[in-house]
Amino acid sequence: MDKFLWKIIEKEIKRQEETIDLIPSENFVDLETLFIVGSPLMIKYAEGFVGKRYYPGNRFVDKIENLAIKRALKAFKLGPEWGCNVQSYSGSPANLAVLLGLAEPGSKIMGLSLSSGGHLTHGHQVSYTGKLFKSFQYSVKDQLNYDEILKLAKKVKPKIIISGTTSYPRKIDFKKFFEIAKEVGAYHLADISHIAGLVIANLHPSPFKWADVVTTTTHKTLRGPRGAVIFYRKELEEKIQKSVFPGLQGGPHVHTIAGIAYAFWRVSKKDFKNYQKNVLKNSLSLCNFLKSFGFEFFTGGTDNHLMVIDLKNLGIDGKYAERLLEKSDILANRNVLPEDKKPFTPSGLRLGTPAITSRGLKEKEMRIIAEFIKEVILERKNVKEKVRDFIKNFPLPYKDWLKKIRSLI
């Protein structure tokens, strides 16, 4: 047994247990996901696709991948006009695969700027999506302005318009993006990495009627393993599939694909919808409590699982606030806001409720968390002890996982 490594892993597990995790892209998975993703499936090479592998021994892998595809399509109630690829290693390679599959390098693309809530892979200059393509970014002053997006699209005439966000707390009108894309002859790629769980639970409008391709990570509101799924209209199948393999990747991670199949099985259970409802209720309630303490918010509030505090009125930056909170074992990450000049000391702080809701926290606990945040940021108190006492009432299943592992190795 690699005692040295296990000591570090156990410390990380303890850190997770004792922390209030408000990072909206993180979520806790259940024991079954941990076991599936750590299963012997991990050793298998399966380059290619179901029924068309470049390696032998894939008869059960084919069944697993088929199951993941079928369940992913069913989760979003998609008909035969849609197909789906479950092999992308994560959200960033999924987006790159779509862009390279639908457009030649050097083509024009349009996405939301990072400082307005977009993702790096939506064409930011430091990402290869911004280097390989001529990237034009739209931004937000107050909320998404579809007239301005249309104006830019008409001027630029991009090949692809990306909708979807990383730190934008409002509903997205995917129909408007479709109309804009149609008007300028562009593909519409909707990246629902953050809101996929809310979409399945009908708590956010679905993009499928209005998009050519939809990408999502599987580990945020979806609560599955680290991975991604690309949904495409059937006429784009060859472009997308070839772009993932052999264009960008070799052997798919079969253990992750099995974890994705399991995640999409779980969405059919009643507790999934309740969970998503609670994520949303908790988010609105946390935001309201924080507002009552005087915190101000990017776009004025939230409609989804996340929110971004605008710290400008408090005279501190997001990095400082992030550090203060971390000292009290509360995690929320700094976030750039539209008029920020310095990305390392931005004026936003992003918070979300998927992970704490997975631990069973409800609206009444949101008041307690908001008070912790107030004490730390407004009163400069350290509340580490109080956080530990509070969060231990919402245990994670790690003790059972560790016990099982210790009994085996």
Ligand X SMILES: Cc1ncc(COP(=O)(O)O)c(C=O)c1O
- Amino acid 84 reads C
Task: Give the C-alpha separation, 200 to 371, whole Å.
Answer: 32
Least distance in angstroms from the C-beta of 167 to ligand X: 8
Return the C-alpha torsion angle 246, 251, 254, 255, nearest 10.
-130
147 carries an active-site annotation: no
Please enumerate in sequence order all residues whose Cβ is within 8 A of that of 363, keeping only pairs 6 or more positions apart, or say none.
Answer: 281, 282, 285
| Tokens at 6, concatenated | 């296990």
217 carries an active-site annotation: yes
Please enumerate in sequence order all residues whose Cβ is within 8 A of that of 221, keeping only pairs 6 or more positions apart, or say none.
Answer: 27, 194, 195, 196, 197, 198, 276, 279, 305, 354
Give the H or E element holding residue 150. helix 146-156
| Contact (Cβ atoms closer than 8 angstroms) between residue 189 and residue 175 | no
Active-site annotation holder among 134, 226, 233, 319: 226
In Å, how far from its chain's centre is CA 161? Answer: 19
Q: Judged by CB, which is closer to ligand X: 245, or 289?
A: 245
Active-site annotation holder among 26, 45, 367, 386: 45
Active-site annotation holder among 21, 65, 191, 329: 191
Task: Give the C-alpha separation, 207 to 73, whole Å.
Answer: 13
Active-site annotation holder among 159, 220, 223, 374: 220
Task: Find the DSSP H helices in 229-269.
Answer: 237-242, 254-266
168 carries an active-site annotation: no
Q: Judged by CB, which is closer to ligand X: 194, or 239?
A: 194
400 carries an active-site annotation: no
Given CA atoms 102, 104, 109, 114 in this order, what sign does their dihedral have?
Answer: positive
Q: Beta strands of 159-263 (E only): which ranges? A: 160-163, 187-191, 213-217, 228-233
Beta-ladder partners of 109? 135, 160
Least distance in angstroms from the C-beta of 398 to ligand X: 22
Q: Judged by CB, which is closer to ligand X: 48, or 164?
A: 164
Active-site annotation holder among 19, 217, 256, 299: 217
Least distance in angstroms from the C-beta of 114 to ligand X: 11
Q: Judged by CB, which is closer to ligand X: 92, or 278?
A: 92
Least distance in angstroms from the C-beta of 220 to ligand X: 7
Q: Judged by CB, which is closer to ligand X: 193, or 206?
A: 193
Cα angle 255, 257, 259 (rounded to 5 degrees) comes to 70
Q: Judged by CB, which is closer to ligand X: 137, or 193?
A: 193
Task: Give the C-alpha separation, 351 to 1, whole Å.
Answer: 38
Task: Find the DSSP H helices in 76-145.
Answer: 91-102, 128-131
226 carries an active-site annotation: yes
165 carries an active-site annotation: no
Q: Which residue is nearest to ligand X (CB)?
A: 91
Which stretches of the chain bind ligand X, using CB under 6 A?
A: 25, 90-92, 95, 119, 121, 164-166, 191, 193-194, 217
Least distance in angstroms from the C-beta of 375 to ligand X: 29
Active-site annotation holder among 47, 173, 326, 371: 47
Least distance in angstroms from the C-beta of 122 to ligand X: 7
**Which residues are annotated as catalytic?**
45, 47, 191, 217, 220, 226
